[in-house]
Amino acid sequence: MTAWIIDVQERTGREVVPTEQCSQDRRFRKVFAFYFSDALSKAEREVQILGNLDKILAGQEVIMSDADLDWLVDHDLYPDQVVSVPNPNRCGILDAYIVGMISCHTIHQFRLQHGLAQSI
């Protein structure tokens, strides 16, 4: 595999040595892939997941897949106050969960219905 630093905004990238550091700006992602197209896809997905995490931490609820949640856990980015509940409007594997802070309305309602929280 090749190490790539991808500029997700400009959709460009370059091959780098595996030890090269990447900018802290989220639009730049360091990923490992055989081909540029695969590296670009991985980098775009990471930026999307990080964007969803920002929304969650701002108090919004987002729809996420198992793979997205796994990515957050694997990178130690899954906060303790974040909860996922089954999405009642699920259509496939990409919209499996509603994810948000434990205090979000939908999550709180789910917890009440299942005896996991007390009403305030």
Tokens of 118: 């007390």
Same domain, 46 and 74: no
Confidence of residue 120 (pLDDT cuts 50, 70, 90): low
pLDDT tens for residues 31-68? 999 999 999 999 999 999 999 999 999 999 999 998 99
22's CB contacts (< 8 A; 6+ apart) are 5, 28, 29, 30
Same domain, 64 and 50: no
Same domain, 120 and 93: yes
Domain of residue 97, residue span = 59-120
Confidence of residue 90 (pLDDT cuts 50, 70, 90): confident
- Residue 82: C-alpha distances to residues 9, 10, 51, 97, 98 (Å): 28, 31, 15, 12, 10
Look at residues 16, 42, 58 and tell me which one is the last residue of a structural domain.
Answer: 58
Look at residues 42, 58, 74 and tell me which one is the last residue of a structural domain.
Answer: 58
Is the per-residue pLDDT at 29 higher than 70?
A: yes
8-18 average pLDDT score: 93
- Number of domains the chain is built from: 2
Same domain, 51 and 83: no
Q: What pTM value is reported for the model?
A: 0.83
